[in-house]
Amino acid sequence: MGYMETVQDFVIQNFLFGDGKLLKDDTSFLKQGIVDSTGILELVLFLEQTYDIKIEDEELIPENLDSLRNIARFIDRKLSCNPPHSRSTTQQTSQQVR
């Protein structure tokens, strides 16, 4: 599942109560009242935990987080600049040390 689909599932389940009929890739979460300021914090926590990234305060802007498309692009940029370490790589390294 890609970034957009994963985030879409999260938004539908947590903010739209399972009804995502009107949610499009470029739907503004703020303009449509889908996500409020508290919801943005939930969304940021989800993204940080799901993709093993750190979202800085200056990155909390609509251009990064206001639609599925913006979030997918943002995650892609974050991961291409600083890819997370996969568990399998960490496990392989620890096994090689033993």
Summarised one tens digit per residue, pLDDT across range 61-98 is 999 999 999 999 999 999 998 765 543 343 343 334 44
Alpha-carbon distance values, 12 to 5, 8, 54, 65 (Å):
10, 6, 23, 15
* pLDDT at residue 98 in the model: 40
Global pTM? 0.80
Summarised one tens digit per residue, pLDDT across range 21-76 is 989 999 999 999 999 989 999 999 999 999 999 999 999 999 999 999 999 999 99
In the chain the domains, ranked by start, together with CATH numbers, are 3-97 (1.10.1200.10)
The residue among 97, 50, 42, 37 whose CA lies nearest residue 78 is 50
